[in-house]
């Protein structure tokens, strides 16, 4: 019989897939159950957190919540994916045996944020702060193959080829600082938190601070960025976000224009090592 049951919500997303791999390796003699609507396989349960009966999960020792969206589509709204799931989790917690909760939020979660993505993440975090035995992971951009920030940078690289190597960019997108973290670090941190008694916030950030301009500079193409003053682009870009476009939505606009960095001493202390270097990742992923 397994000694412990770990349930992962959002187990088939980019972060969730990696977390499942690391949990299965770390706890081979325990039950690790990945839940999502598209779940398939021996260690997975097709489960819709919006509508399924949570009693089907029975007793749970650790519940890892990685449910999250970066763009609203259909019934998947930020309020529903980020806030309602946490409300339902807390409402059903006692019936599951009061499991330890490891919740993946985002660096920049803030109930006052102009970005609904970050605001709803902040609301969810506030709900969890009031509960016992909860660890909240706040990562910067999580680096996995094909992740959103890589897609954005490669889109800019592609645009440069149409414009003879010159790309006009709002200047206020070029100066904010980001601290991307390898997906493996986030997965390893969740593994450690599953059996740790430590609670509160764990900032998951990498060892290197980068700007968007520095990310673009990893391209194998020679690109010149033409920085446009904010006054000439701010309202135009906000107007464009009202329409469906491949470059960004309103939330991404605000997030790209804000710093996203934090020290990561609690993460590194729990991992027992330094955060992984991201240099090879950028060189491999940026076209």
Give residue 134's Cα distance to chain centre. Answer: 18
pLDDT of residue 39: 85
Nearest to 181 by CA among 126, 63, 261, 122: 261
pLDDT of residue 246: 60
Show me where the domains of the chain are located.
5-285
Strands 210-211 and 177-178: antiparallel
Q: 3-class DSSP state for residue 244? A: coil
5-285: CATH, from 3.40.50.720, 1.10.357.10, 3.40.50.10440, 2.40.10.10:
3.40.50.720
Q: How far apart are CA 128 and CA 169, in angstroms?
A: 38
Mean pLDDT for each 10-residue chunk of the chain (287 residues)? 88 95 97 92 92 91 96 89 97 96 97 95 97 98 92 90 87 93 98 97 98 94 89 74 71 85 98 97 95
pLDDT of residue 104: 98
pLDDT of residue 2: 64
Nearest to 16 by CA among 148, 86, 88, 104: 104
């Amino acid at each position: 019989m397994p000694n412990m049951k770990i349930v992962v919500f959002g187990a088939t997303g980019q972060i969730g897939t990696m977390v499942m791999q690391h949990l299965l390796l770390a706890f081979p003699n325990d039950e690790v159950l990945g839940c999502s609507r598209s779940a398939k396989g021996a260690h997975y349960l097709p489960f819709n957190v919006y509508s399924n009966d949570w009693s089907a999960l029975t007793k749970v020792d650790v519940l890892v919540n990685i449910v999250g969206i970066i763009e609203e589509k259909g019934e998947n709204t930020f309020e529903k994916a980020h806030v309602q799931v946490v409300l339902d989790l807390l409402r059903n917690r006692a019936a599951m045996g009061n499991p330890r909760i490891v919740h993946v939020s985002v660096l920049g979660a803030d109930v006052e944020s102009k970005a609904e993505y970050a605001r709803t993440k902040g609301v969810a975090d506030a709900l969890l702060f009031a509960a016992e035995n909860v660890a909240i992971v706040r990562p910067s951009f999580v680096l996995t193959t094909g992740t959103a920030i890589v897609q954005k940078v490669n889109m800019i690289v592609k645009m440069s080829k149409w414009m003879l190597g010159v790309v006009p960019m709002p200047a206020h997108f070029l100066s904010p600082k980001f601290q991307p973290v390898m997906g493996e670090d986030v997965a390893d941190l969740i593994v450690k938190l599953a059996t740790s008694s430590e609670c509160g916030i764990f900032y998951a950030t990498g060892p290197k601070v980068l700007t968007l301009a520095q990310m673009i500079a990893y391209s194998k193409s020679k690109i010149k960025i033409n920085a446009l003053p904010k006054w000439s682009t701010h309202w135009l870009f906000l107007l464009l976000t009202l329409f469906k476009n491949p470059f960004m939505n309103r939330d991404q606009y605000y997030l790209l224009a804000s710093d996203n960095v934090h020290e990561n001493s609690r993460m590194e202390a729990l991992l027992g090592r330094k955060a992984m270097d991201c240099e090879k990742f950028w060189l491999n992923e940026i076209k």
